[in-house]
Amino acid sequence: MLQPDRVSAIFADARDLHADAIEILELGKPRIAAEAAWGATKRATDALVLARTGREPSGTGQTSRRIIYLGRIDPDVSVLARQYNDRIVELHGRCFYLGICNEVHDLIRGTAEYIRTAEQLAAASAGDASC
Amino acid sequence: MLKTQRAAELFNEARKTGEDSLRRLDDSEKHWDRRELLRSAEQAWEAATQATGALILTLSGVEPEPNGKNDTYGMLSSLAIEVPELRPLKDKYTDMSVYLYDLVICNGSVDPLEFTIEAIRNTADYIRECQRLAGPGLG
């Protein structure tokens, strides 16, 4: 698959996961919805990293490192990197792992905006950074 | 022990742990030693958590319990909703928990080295910021 097609496919996956998260949230299962929203966050971030660096992260550690790196060289990405950190801690760490889910509803719904921002940043990518 | 005494004690511990972390970092840079750098990162994170605990105790009267109901991150998040001045500190704590704790300490990876060194060195500023927010007379 060509890189632009792969980027689009990962963003589509992120949007699908987010749609699942909203459906699950409306069923009254915020803990499972949070993990789906975290998955959507990670996939959108992977797509942005691929668009900017030409390399798709594999594990979460790679995604985290690369979005932090990209945030250092582009202030617009640094705003997204901050939101990424909030999401990994609240959605994945606290809600899904620990069952502390009181703060996640807005973050789950707001993941749609996170994905849109990542798409805009990917479209604006210079495509020559490397991690 | 009085809560103010306990908070001052926690700030002292945070400063000492932070100083140990920086000494270890300097040693690890002089004679490159990855294990020493990892230990320095662990101490930096411990110092940041101690300072955050002292600040939370000062502001709320409750000392956070690691892995308990009143965990450090949860209590800091709740306080940051009530006190907007704490929001930047909460963001820094979140960023440290992802970088220093998740990526360096738990995953054991120190690359990129300059990020890890910077994160450890920034802990001293973080502790000072906790002390400033706790108000005069503490720390």
Per-residue pLDDT of chain A (131 residues; tens, 9 = 90+): 778 899 999 999 999 999 999 999 999 999 999 999 999 999 999 999 999 999 999 899 999 999 999 999 999 999 999 999 999 999 999 999 999 998 899 999 999 999 999 999 999 864 444 44
Q: What is the mean pLDDT of residues B56-69?
A: 88
**Cβ of residue A99 closer than 8 Å to a chain B Cβ:** no
Of A61, A69, A86, the CB nearest to B107: A61
Give the amino acid at A61: G
- Can you say whether the dihedral through the CA atoms of B131, B105, A52, A11 is positive or negative? negative
pLDDT above 60 (res B68): yes
User: Could you report the per-residue pLDDT of B98-125, keeping only the tens digit for each?
Assistant: 999 999 999 999 988 999 999 999 999 9
For A36, half-sphere exposure in the C-beta direction (CA atoms, 13 angstrom radius) is 21
pLDDT above 50 (res B9): yes
Q: Using an 8 Å Cβ cutoff, are B77 and B34 in contact?
A: no
The pLDDT assigned to B70 comes to 85
* B94 contacts in chain A (CB < 8 Å): 85-86, 89
The pLDDT assigned to A71 comes to 94
Contact A94 B73 (CB under 8 A): yes
The pLDDT assigned to B66 comes to 74
Tokens 């909460």, residue located? B90
| Minimum Cα–Cα distance from A88: chain B residue | B98
Q: What ipTM was assigned to the predicted interfaces of this complex? A: 0.81
User: Could you report the per-residue pLDDT of B33-47, keeping only the tens digit for each?
Assistant: 999 999 999 999 999
**Residue-wise DSSP of chain A:** --HHHHHHHHHHHHHHHHHHHHHHHHTT-HHHHHHHHHHHHHHHHHHHHHHHHS----SHHHHHHHHHHHHHH-HHHHHHHHHHHHHIIIIIIIIIIT---TTHHHHHHHHHHHHHHHHHHHHT--S----
Contact B74 A64 (CB under 8 A): no
* B122 contacts in chain A (CB < 8 Å): none
